[in-house]
Amino acid sequence: MTEKPDGLSFLPLGGTGEIGMNFNLYCLTKNGRDTWLAIDCGIGFSGNDTPEAEVLMPDPTFIADRARDLCGLVITHAHEDHLGAVAHLWPYLRCPVYATPFAAAVLRRKLQEAHLNNQVKIHVIRPASRFEVGPFDLQFVSVTHSVAEAQAVALRTPHGLIVHTGDWKLDENPLVGPVTDLETFGKLGDEGVLAMVGDSTNVLKPGKSESEADVRKGLTDLIMGLEGRIAVTCFASNVARVESIAKAAQASGRVVMIVGRSLRNLETAARECGYFQDLPPFLTEQDARDVEDENLLMIITGSQGEPRSALSRIASDTHPNIALGEGDTVIYSSRMIPGNEQAVMAVQDNLSRRGVTVLTDKDAKVHTSGHATSEDIRTLYRIVRPKYSIPTHGEWRHLTAHAALAHEMGSEPILLEDGDILNLSPGEVKVVDTAPTGRLALDGGRLLPMTGGVLAARRKMLFNGIVLASFAVDDEGYVIGEPKISAPGLLESDDPESIRIQEEFADSIDQIPDELRQDDAAFRDAAKTALRRALGRKLQKRPLVDVHLLRV
């Protein structure tokens, strides 16, 4: 058998062809042995196409089968779509984690909730540092993003230099954290970059990025002119935005209250890492009654319409401590993630129904993206000059637009999907194999495959309902009493159609052959067929059916 040649390859298992669930792998092969490095491990949120699940994450099976060859997991920044899955998937990976102080602080709280804090070795790496993970020579490069301490990663290998951008933008006045380090990117470009693996999320927006400083001014101007209670919702991990909102509140003579667990965790992590030093501690929701409406500003989780979030519960008037109504204002200092439009609009509609004024970035300068626009991306290509471009982190329309822009800037684009194994060296740079991919849904404390039986049944119940039948039989297999039918979400119990189905089901059971009545499994299968027949075509549905047989 020929030994595998020394080489370098790249494999996205999540986040390429979709928003969220970023999970990328690099493989160095030496002396016939593969060593893998993971960069980011994030969650995604359910959209209209996956109503049966709320939180999604990439299936780690491929790398879990090779966990002994996984030397580490590097986190580029503390957003949920880049580190939110670590606490759920680490038991499959069982490798050390490398993160900046802020990302490490956020991650520790998640691991603590999962009772993994003492098991996971976290190496805290200072921003802009150079460090080694197994055979990988890595360098963090500071970039501006909508979270503190965001980093790009330069991977120096015997086969060439790779620049993995993570999430980034250009902002001359980011307010929290440094500007994107174009000088270091320029030095990497001078070294010679084989490939740049880049963020595509905001590539469709023309022109240069807007600054967080403009948002802070816009929020201040807006809040100064409002009366009543004010609530602002934003991404919980956006330290600069939370600071901007707090500063705007201060300028208006309002105290800040935070509502929602993720925001409380953010404040703790941020203050632990030296942020918010010139801001007094934020109030909690228990303090709501102690502050006059005109003196209060609330920062609330739930900008994406998450059903269990604080803002969703306030909008539906089910929050235990906070109510909003006539004369109050909710400001959305965020964008809608694709797929969340219906959920966000439903919350905004509920707020409006309660008399709340809802303001978004269409009404005032209250948000700017943390991702690079097309002009930002052109600037980075001009500086880095990679031979190859590998667009990631985006839906297909984002990836193709990024590829076109890279081609315009003189790089050769390579379009991948999750599971494509890209050979970077030796020889031709091309897809040489595919790895199994998939999505897992977080269901309570369980991880379930989206294609598995449990969620397939839930999906069927969601759209077609469920019909349950139960009946008792004696030792000989003959029915005792009347079978019972229940069709929650499909039929009312006194519906004539429900009575018809029950009668036809009872008649059909009587016709089941005697030889099937002695074996419970065979009898149950025959009864299911009888139930489907009794349902007929009148409902124009194919509900999930189940039969409970009791032998007495």
Beta strands 296-300 and 255-259, pairing class: parallel
pLDDT at 508: 81
Question: Which residue, among 451, 436, 450, has the nearest Cα to 57 in the 3D structure?
Answer: 450
Would the pLDDT of 270 be above 80? yes
pLDDT in tens, 454-487: 656 666 566 667 788 888 888 777 788 888 887 7
pLDDT in tens, 389-419: 999 999 999 999 999 999 999 999 999 999 9
Would the pLDDT of 136 be above 90? yes
Would the pLDDT of 433 be above 90? yes
Which domains are assigned to the chain?
Answer: 7-207+369-449 (3.60.15.10), 212-359 (3.40.50.10710), 465-551 (3.10.20.580)
Question: Which residue, among 456, 457, 482, has the nearest Cα to 467 in the 3D structure?
Answer: 457
Could you give phi then psi for residue 381, rounded to 5 degrees? -65, -35
* Under 8 Å between Cβ of 17 and 396: yes
Q: Which residues pair with 388 in a beta bridge?
A: 195, 412
pTM: 0.83
Lowest mean pLDDT among 191-195, 360-364, 448-452: 448-452
Count of residues for the chain? 552
- Cα 32 to Cα 236: distance, rounded to the nearest angstrom: 45
pLDDT at 530: 81
- Cα 505 to Cα 527: distance, rounded to the nearest angstrom: 8
- Cα 493 to Cα 512: distance, rounded to the nearest angstrom: 26
pLDDT in tens, 196-224: 999 999 999 999 999 999 999 999 999 99
- Cα 549 to Cα 528: distance, rounded to the nearest angstrom: 11
pLDDT at 526: 86
Would the pLDDT of 48 be above 60? no
Would the pLDDT of 359 be above 90? yes
Beta strands 357-359 and 466-473, pairing class: unpaired
Order of all β-strands in the sheet with 544-551: 479-486, 466-473, 544-551
- Dmax over Cα atoms in the chain, in whole Å? 86
pLDDT at 216: 94
Q: Does residue 426 have a cis bond before it (omega within 30 degrees)?
A: yes
State the DSSP H helix or E strand holding residue 550, giving kind and residue range, or none if neither.
strand 544-551
- Cα 139 to Cα 126: distance, rounded to the nearest angstrom: 10
Mean pLDDT of 218-233: 95
Beta strands 296-300 and 430-434, pairing class: unpaired
**DSSP letter string over 110-138?**
HHHHTT-TTT--EEE--TT-EEEETTEEE
In the DSSP assignment, the letter for residue 15 is S
